[in-house]
Amino acid sequence: MSQAEGQQHPIKIYLWIWLLLFVLSTFSYLVDYYHLQGYLRWSLIIVFMLLKAGFIVAIFMHMAWERLALKFAILLPPLCLLILIGFMAVEGDYTFFTRGAAFLH
Amino acid sequence: MAHDAAADAALSPLQQVAGDFSADKNAFSVPWGKAMMWIFLLSDTFIFTCFLTSYMNVRMSTTTPWPFPSEVFALHMFGQDIPLILIAIMTFVLITSSGTMAMAVNYGYRRHKRNTVLLMVATAALGATFVSMQAFEWTKLIMEGARPWENPWGAPQFGSAFFMITGFHGLHVSAGVIYLLVVANRVRKGFYDKRGSYEMVEIAGLYWHFVDLVWVFIFAFFYLW
């Protein structure tokens, strides 16, 4: 094993991340509570979401301390999904357009 | 592993990757169960992304307005409607369960059995609380007329996306509660002392944190968007 026995880190770091996740969740809730709209709303939601996801994967799931081979094997394949999301966004846009056109005629 | 730690540290990170994959040894220097759990979670990532992507697609393509989640999921408390309050509480419950799970893994590796069991049972209890609140939310929405094919607030696709995504996530949480209780019981009985390794607790923890991770994305894209 690369570590003596599994992943051993001070408890303190988990408590800090826990607190941080609470704060970030509160922020994302406040985005809705104060009715922020448009690009400000969407970018804040995505920033808080990615920060939370990053801390969970890196610290709680210990990915930060794993070897690069495992990080690559697990974190790179989901990038394919960006292509799916892109295609489906284009498709959704097109469907909306054709539906609109069908209703006009 | 047999490889020399000092020689390994002298390599660049990419050379380490090349070495790990090409040398005559296991590619990943983690227990096989942990590598397999990660690969399972990778496949689950694809499933949940497919759900969220199809939700994006139907929401973009519908010509009827999408229901306003802030109002649909509001609860009437203390004489006023508080937007999304139940969802916010559910989020905090799930994050808290992730925190207790991370500490359970830590105590496991320290061979502190009592704290490990207690923290895992607390995690499972928080998970069960989450599922109960979700059941309440489903009941409330169904009573108000939400169905997978129609709802009183707007685009009919809202119902199918909602029941599919939160249902599949709730199923994961429920399975996780059972999984955690099984592992906690094994810790209590000293199963992992006999085996000489507490890695199973960490592997169960990986699954649990993933459930929390998925909720982060559902919360952002379904409830807040």
pLDDT tens per residue across span A7-55:
888 899 999 999 999 999 999 999 988 888 889 999 999 999 999 999 9
Structure confidence at residue A2 (pLDDT): 41
Structure confidence at residue B69 (pLDDT): 87
**Shortest distance, CA B73 to any CA of chain A (angstroms):** 12
Chain A contact for B63 (CB, 8 A cutoff): yes
Instruction: Give the separation between CA A21 and CA A14, rounded to whole angstroms.
Output: 10
Chain B contact for A31 (CB, 8 A cutoff): yes
In total, the C-beta contacts within 8 angstroms joining chain A to chain B are 170
**Shortest distance, CA A12 to any CA of chain B (angstroms):** 10
Could B220 and A48 be called an inter-chain contact, meaning their C-beta atoms sit closer than 8 Å? Answer: yes
From chain A, pick out residues whose CB is under 8 angstroms from the CB of B223: 32
Band of pLDDT at residue A1, cut at 50, 70 and 90: very low
Buried b (16+ CB within 10 A) or exposed e, B120-141: bbbbbbbbbbbbebbeebbeeb
Band of pLDDT at residue B33, cut at 50, 70 and 90: very high
From chain A, pick out residues whose CB is under 8 angstroms from the CB of B102: 14, 17-18, 59-60
Report whether A21 contacts B212 (CB < 8 A): no
Mean pLDDT of chain B: 92
Band of pLDDT at residue A4, cut at 50, 70 and 90: low
**Shortest distance, CA A64 to any CA of chain B (angstroms):** 13
Residue B133 pLDDT > 50:
yes
ipTM of the complex: 0.91
From chain A, pick out residues whose CB is under 8 angstroms from the CB of B49: 78, 81, 84-85
**Shortest distance, CA A105 to any CA of chain B (angstroms):** 15
Terminus-to-terminus CA distance in chain A, angstroms?
68
Chain A contact for B38 (CB, 8 A cutoff): yes
List CB contacts of A36: < 8 A, sequence separation 6 or more. Answer: A44
Percent of chain B residues topping a pLDDT of 70: 99
| pTM listed for this prediction | 0.92
List A residues 47-86 in contact with B (Cβ-Cβ < 8 A). 48-49, 52-53, 56-57, 59-62, 66-70, 72-74, 77-78, 81, 84-85
**Shortest distance, CA A18 to any CA of chain B (angstroms):** 6
Report whether B56 contacts B49 (CB < 8 A): no
From chain B, pick out residues whose CB is under 8 angstroms from the CB of A37: none
pLDDT tens for B151-193 read 999 999 999 999 999 999 999 999 999 999 999 999 999 999 8
Instruction: Give the separation between CA B114 and CA B187, rounded to whole angstroms.
Output: 9
List CB contacts of B102: < 8 A, sequence separation 6 or more. Answer: A14, A17, A18, A59, A60, B205, B209
Q: How many residues would you count in chain A?
A: 105
Rg (CA), chain B: 22
Instruction: Give residue B21's identity as a one-letter amino acid code.
Output: F
Band of pLDDT at residue A104, cut at 50, 70 and 90: confident
Number of Cβ within a 10 Å radius of residue B149:
8
pLDDT tens for B95-107 read 999 999 999 999 9
Question: Where do the H-state alpha helices sit in B73-225?
Answer: 85-109, 113-143, 157-188, 191-195, 199-218
